[in-house]
Amino acid sequence: MLEDTTRVLSCLVYGASNFMMVSIPVDKLVYDLKEMVHNKGKNGALRDTDVSDLFVWKLKKQESIAPEESLGDRVSSQGRLSLIAVKLDSLARIGDIFPDQPSKLCLHILVQHVRSPTVSPSTSVTSNMSMSASASSTGETFPAAAHKRTLDDVGSYEEGGKRHKADGPIVNDDPFAQFGFKHLTYDGTPTDSVLHFHKMYWGNPLPPEHLSLQNMVHHPNDIEDDDGDNGDDLLPATPLPIIHTPWTPVFIRAEYLRMYNWTEVMSVEGKVYRPSAVVVTGQPGIGKMFWAYYILRRRLGEKSAIMWYQRSVIYLFCSQGVLLVPPTFTFSKFSPPIWTIIDSVQSPSGIPTDMVPFPPGVFPIYITSPTPERWAGISQSWTCHHLVMNAWTKAEITKASVLYSNQSLDDALEKYDSLGPTARFCFELTPGEIERHVTDRLIAIRNSSPHHLRQLFTASGRLSLDHLSHKICLIRRKRGSTLDGGTASTNFISVNVKQEVVQRLEEFSDDQLLEMWHNFSKFGDARGMTGPIFEVFVHRRFKTRIDLNAEPMVRAKRANSRWYGSFGTQQPQAATLHGLAEQNFHLQFDVGTHIVYDDTLQSVQPDVFYLPRSGQQVALDSFILHGGYLNIFQCTGSQKHDIKTGIYEFFESCTGLPPRQHWRFVFVIPDELDVFSCPGDVQDIGLYTARFSMSRV
Residue 109 CB-density burial (10 A; 0-12 exposed, 13-18 middle, 19+ buried) = buried
pLDDT given for residue 43 in this prediction: 83
Q: Could you report the per-residue pLDDT of 653-675, keeping only the tens digit for each?
A: 889 999 988 999 999 999 988 88
* CA angle centred on 481, ends 383 and 210, rounded to 5°: 80
214 or 60, higher pLDDT: 60
When the pLDDT of each residue in the chain is averaged and rounded to a whole number, the result is: 80
pLDDT given for residue 134 in this prediction: 34
pLDDT at 6 over 70: yes
Average pLDDT over residues 271-278: 79
Max Cα distance, the chain (Å): 108
pLDDT given for residue 609 in this prediction: 96
Average pLDDT over residues 319-335: 88
pLDDT at 155 over 50: no
Average pLDDT over residues 281-286: 90
Bridging pattern class, strands 488-492 and 306-310: unpaired
pLDDT at 58 over 90: yes
Highest mean pLDDT among 249-263, 518-532, 554-568: 249-263
664 or 463, higher pLDDT: 664
pLDDT at 422 over 60: yes
Q: Annotate 334-355 with b (16+ C-beta within 10 A) or e (fewer).
A: bbbbbbbbbbbeebeebbbeeb
Q: Does the pTM of the predicted model rise above 0.95?
A: no
Q: If you ran DSSP here, which 8-state letter would residue 424 be given? A: I
Least confident of 66-75, 254-263, 405-414: 66-75
pLDDT at 117 over 50: no
Q: Could you report the per-residue pLDDT of 558-611, keeping only the tens digit for each?
A: 777 888 998 876 666 656 665 555 689 999 999 989 998 877 788 999 999 998
pLDDT at 97 over 90: yes
Q: Could you report the per-residue pLDDT of 10-41, keeping only the tens digit for each?
A: 999 988 888 999 999 998 888 889 989 999 98
Nearest to 671 by CA among 689, 697, 655: 689
pLDDT at 204 over 90: yes
Residue 58 DSSP SS3: strand
pLDDT given for residue 526 in this prediction: 56
pLDDT given for residue 301 in this prediction: 94
Least confident of 183-187, 216-220, 420-424: 216-220
Answer yes or no: are the C-beta atoms of 12 and 107 closer than 8 Å. Answer: yes
Residue 466 CB-density burial (10 A; 0-12 exposed, 13-18 middle, 19+ buried) = middle
Average pLDDT over residues 316-341: 89
Q: How many CB atoms lie within 10 A of CB 410?
A: 9
Q: Could you report the per-residue pLDDT of 617-645, keeping only the tens digit for each?
A: 555 679 999 999 999 999 998 888 888 77
pLDDT at 342 over 80: yes
pLDDT given for residue 352 in this prediction: 86
Q: How confident is the model at residue 139 (pLDDT cuts 50, 70, 90)?
A: very low
Question: What gap in Å lies between CA 148 and CA 134, rounded to an integer?
Answer: 16
User: Which residues touch 362 (CB under 8 Å, ≥6 apart)?
Assistant: 307, 331, 334, 337, 338, 339, 340, 355
Q: What percent of the chain has pLDDT over 90?
A: 37
Average pLDDT over residues 202-224: 70
Examine residue 117 and say whether the peptide bond preceding it is cis (omega within 30 degrees of 0). no
Nearest to 94 by CA among 191, 44, 1, 23: 23
Average pLDDT over residues 499-526: 84
* Amino acid identity, position 222: D
Question: What gap in Å lies between CA 364 and CA 354, rounded to an integer?
Answer: 12
No. of helices (H) and no. of strands (E), the chain: 22, 29
Q: How confident is the model at residue 161 (pLDDT cuts 50, 70, 90)?
A: very low
pLDDT given for residue 348 in this prediction: 87
Q: How confident is the model at residue 339 (pLDDT cuts 50, 70, 90)?
A: very high
Question: What gap in Å lies between CA 388 and CA 485, rounded to an integer?
Answer: 9
Answer yes or no: are the C-beta atoms of 457 and 523 closer than 8 Å. Answer: yes
pLDDT given for residue 25 in this prediction: 92
pLDDT at 9 over 50: yes
Question: What gap in Å lies between CA 674 and CA 640, rounded to an integer?
Answer: 11
Answer yes or no: are the C-beta atoms of 173 and 183 closer than 8 Å. Answer: no
609 or 328, higher pLDDT: 609
